[in-house]
Amino acid sequence: MMDHLVTLDGGLPYKPIVLGFMWTIYVWEQYLAYRQYRLLRDPTLGVPKSLKAEVTDEDHQKAKAYGVDKALFGFVTSAFTQIQNTLLIVLDALPSLWAISGDLLVKAGLLGERDILRSVLFVLIMVLGMTVLQIPFSLYSTFVIEERHGFNKQTIALFLSDLLKELLLTVVLLSPLIAGLLSVIQWGGDQFFYYVWIFMLVFQIVMVIIYPTLIQPLFNTFKPLEEGALRQKIEKLAKSVNFPLAKIFVIDGSKRSSHSNAYFFGFFKQKRIVLYDTLLEHSNHEEICAVLAHELGHWKKSHIYKMLGVSQFQIFVMFYLFSHFIKSKPLYEAFGFSDTPIIVGLILFSFLYQPADSLMSFVGNVLSRKHEFEADAFAKKLGHTATLVSALIKLNTKNRGNLNPDKLYSAWHYSHPPLVERLAAIAPLKKTD
């Protein structure tokens, strides 16, 4: 059904093009990371004037030290990943992995045309292999950096338990996703990208539903927030904006980290609010309500649906462009393949798509920061200006956030505006409250 798809052969040197894209993006992002690192190491950059009354120099120095450690670690992990991916391409490792996946099926007695099963096995081998290679870095991040700065609460046993669960979930979730995706592409013919778009939308919605109800409970315990003043204030806040609150939970985030958070989930009239126990430990009731008022702003402004729409647009564009490469023999041959398996084509196309993906990630961050400002404004309109300011400063201090981020780095990478920018946006409205 797919023999008539237009291909963009043209005899292009695909492998050098892909390596060029990879290294250009890598150099760009390392340049940004170095700009950030340089500011973190600058001894002349103290607490911003607007925060001198709220943030001590001691807390600021701790935040800078945390940032330096993460930046240095980031240089190492980025270099490792870049070298790994380069070798994967230069040494034609993908054809070898494809051959291994076929051999394993033969040894298992699964003969004949089993492209989808082989594709699933191929992806799992690749993903699980890369996951194993990242384990030493995860251990160092958790038990050295996070431990050094007082955030880590995990034990080795809990770390290994989480890792095992994550690997099992990868197999359980990724297998049907790959099988379903390839089935839709094969069935969809020349216009498969329309059907893939619908398939991915359904998959995303399913994940939004099952993650908080089935997946996260495998890692954390949810307990109903006990009756009392805080619960009454949250219920009153939700009612004031017609938020269909069904339940309020407290999650035991402290068993892994002292970082804190709050969020809501659920569709229609079954919304649930989740508070990290660490947030309850260092915030008063008014500050917690201010944080939740911000979160309710995301709901009121339909930010989740807007971001879902952006995500779907990106998916549609990617698969539409992929439809022009799916049968491009020169693309496959450039990376050592003699046949044209769909899953391999998708992976190879993703290499070519890197610049667009990087740019769309930036656009997504710009939109996310815009949403954060809007959610702040919503919370302020509800009368939470002073407590929102207090909560933001406290969260940033407790999480050791960077008070002086590089403007270019934060513009490219941050999904939330820097604290100083958020407080500057609050100030004009603060005068009129």
Cβ pair 224, 249 in contact under 8 A: yes
Known catalytic residue: 376? yes
Amino acid at 341: P
Of 352, 305, 302, 297, the residue nearest 328 (C-alpha): 352
Active-site residue, selected from the candidate residues 146, 287, 295, 406: 295
Strands 245-251 and 262-265: unpaired
Distance CA 291, CA 270 (A): 20
What does the block give as tokens for 280?
């309850």
Distance CA 99, CA 119 (A): 11
**HSE (CB half, 13 Å, CA atoms) of 75?**
13
CA 275 to chain centroid, in Å, comes to: 20
Q: How far apart are the first and last CA of the chain?
A: 64
Known catalytic residue: 277? no
Distance CA 197, CA 315 (A): 7
Max CA distance (Å), the chain: 74
Active-site residue, selected from the candidate residues 146, 287, 372, 376: 376
Amino acid at 370: K
Between CA 181 and CA 189, with CA 183 as vertex, the angle to 5 degrees is: 100
Q: Catalytic residue numbers?
A: 295, 376
